């Protein structure tokens, strides 16, 4: 009998992250990886579940060709290469899309209207949808949305204090990184059910960073808002910014909207403050005072949000770190929780250095949970596929 495979894609402007799964009730990844530097000197990096990572130079490559290379090098070697379904991470689902959705022309048209709300992500997500339809025309294609997890927010969290007519038009806080928060809250149910039903702050810290206040498994508040620019400083994104700064840049610096967009999305955050790098590993290794200042600002903003979310939740029963920085930087975790005894947060230095599951020495659990957004999409794919 033919064994079906599932393909999960997370596409950006110059890369496609992917994971290949065997179709199963709770699928596990057979191989993960990414194609980097699309349109330039592309390379395919693969990490088989039972083997060593491999890198293959591809040369000049577009998104369609990149998918074909993924098919050749990652899908076919895992079995017969039959792809039953392709799942896509889509940054913005707006008000309408709150569940995994089968993709057709009508859905794509609606998602294109949301591109101004996620200009760094949505166009490339949809480019991968178009490319995968060409490479895998017979596969079921579904979209999973980073905004969906947050759609049950209280009204006071989602509104801005501008004329209400704009809220009715969709100018409101949406929240992002929902697939990561979905995975972590589900994981808590299995490893710490007593915590899963409580008041939890989840910190998804990486090149993109946000935090979410979760109560009984549901999102109550999130640091990201109308766009993926809001909240915490990120690798190259500014995070929270006084809107008066935008007016100043327009009126007194003479900048165009395109120039401001590039500034806030690509030249700000850790990169902008440090004038060195958007990579936390490089900043932690640097002796440059500006690198330390960038780290200090990053930590300061996280600590502010911990306090704010504790207030929203009426206290906290646990804090969870995930994402590339959250999962791997013992320094950031320790600095965030320093002098937080008043919230019951205290780090066990030895457990923290080992990136252990539980790193708390105080009364409130502090957990480190590697997130797996691709697995959330794979599970949604299994549910969407017709039964045999």
Domains in the chain and their CATH numbers?
5-145 (3.30.420.40), 192-373 (3.30.420.40)
Q: In the predicted model, what is the mean pLDDT of residues 61-87?
A: 82
The per-residue pLDDT for range 171-199, each reduced to its tens digit, is 999 999 999 999 999 999 999 999 999 99
d(C-alpha 343, C-alpha 76), whole Å: 51
Question: What is the rounded average pLDDT of the residues 84-97?
Answer: 94
Lookup: tokens for 58? 């591809």
50 in active site = no
* Residue 111 CB contacts under 8 Å (≥ 6 apart), including other chains: 90, 92, 93, 97, 122, 125, 126, 143
Tell me how long the chain is: 388
In which band, very low, low, confident or very high, does the pLDDT at 1 lie, cut at 50, 70 and 90?
very low
**pLDDT at position 190, please?**
96
**pTM of the shown model:** 0.93
For residue range 355-388, list pLDDT tens digits in order.
Answer: 999 999 999 999 999 999 999 999 999 999 987 6
3-state secondary structure 52-109: CCEEEEEECCCHHHHHHHHHHHHHHHHCCCCEEEEEEEECCCCCCCCCCEECCHHHHH
- Give the active site residue among 50, 80, 104, 146: 146
Three-class SS string for the chain? CCCCEEEEEEECCCCEEEEEEECCCCCCEEEEEEEECCCCCEEEEEEECCCCCEEEEEECCCHHHHHHHHHHHHHHHHCCCCEEEEEEEECCCCCCCCCCEECCHHHHHHHHCCHHHCCCCHHHHHHHHHHHHHHCCCCEEEEEECCHHHCCCCHHHHCCCCCHHHHHCCCCCCCCCHHHHHHHHHHHHHHCHHHHCCEEEEEECCCCCEEEEEECCEEEEECCCCCCCCCCCCCCCCCCCCHHHHHHHHHCCCCCHHHHHHHHHHCCHHHHHHCCCCCHHHHHHCCCHHHHHHHHHHHHHHHHHHHHHHHHHCCCCEEEEEHHHHHHCHHHHHHHHCCCHHHCCCECHHHHHCCCCECECCCCCEEECCCCHHHHHHHHHHHHCCCC
Confidence of residue 345 (pLDDT cuts 50, 70, 90): very high
Q: What is the pLDDT of residues 236-284, one digit of tens each?
A: 999 999 999 999 999 999 999 999 999 999 999 999 999 999 999 999 9
Average pLDDT, the chain: 93
* pLDDT band with cut points at 50, 70 and 90 for residue 78: low
Mean pLDDT of the 205-232 span: 95
């Amino acid at each position: 009998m033919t064994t079906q495979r599932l393909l999960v894609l997370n596409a950006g402007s110059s890369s496609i992250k992917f994971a290949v799964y065997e179709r199963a009730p709770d699928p596990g990844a057979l191989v993960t990886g990414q194609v980097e530097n699309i349109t330039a000197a592309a390379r395919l990096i693969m990490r088989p579940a039972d083997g060593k990572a491999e890198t293959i130079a591809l040369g000049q490559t577009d998104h369609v060709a990149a998918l074909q290379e993924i098919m050749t090098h990652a899908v076919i070697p895992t079995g017969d290469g039959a792809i039953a379904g392709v799942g896509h991470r889509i940054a913005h689902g707006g008000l309408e899309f709150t569940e995994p959705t089968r993709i057709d022309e009508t859905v794509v048209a609606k998602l294109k209207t949301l591109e101004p709300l996620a200009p760094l992500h949505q166009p490339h997500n949809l480019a991968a949808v178009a490319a995968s339809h060409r490479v895998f025309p017979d596969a079921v294609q579904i979209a999973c949305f980073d905004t969906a997890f947050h759609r049950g927010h209280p009204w006071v969290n989602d509104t801005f204090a501008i004329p209400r007519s704009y809220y009715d038009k969709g100018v409101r806080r949406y929240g992002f990184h929902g697939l990561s928060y979905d995975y972590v809250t589900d994981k808590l149910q299995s490893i710490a059910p007593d915590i899963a039903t409580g008041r939890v702050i989840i910190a998804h810290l990486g090149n993109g960073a946000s935090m979410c206040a979760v109560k009984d498994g549901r999102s109550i508040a999130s640091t990201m808002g109308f766009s993926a620019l809001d909240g915490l400083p990120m690798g190259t994104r500014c995070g929270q910014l006084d809107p008066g700064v935008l007016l100043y840049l327009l009126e007194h610096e003479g900048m165009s909207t395109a120039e401001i967009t590039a500034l806030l999305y690509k030249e700000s955050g850790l990169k902008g403050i440090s004038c060195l790098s958007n990579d936390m590993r490089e900043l932690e290794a640097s002796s440059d005072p500006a690198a330390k200042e960038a780290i200090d600002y990053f930590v300061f903003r996280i600590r502010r949000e911990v306090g704010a979310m504790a207030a929203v939740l009426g206290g906290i029963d646990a804090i969870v770190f995930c994402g590339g920085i959250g999962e791997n930087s013992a320094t950031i975790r320790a600095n965030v929780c320093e002098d937080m005894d008043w919230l019951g947060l205290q780090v066990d230095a030895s457990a923290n250095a080992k990136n252990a599951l539980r790193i708390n020495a105080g009364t409130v659990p502090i957990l480190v949970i590697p997130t797996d957004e691709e697995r959330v999409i794979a599970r949604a794919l299994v549910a969407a596929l017709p039964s045999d």
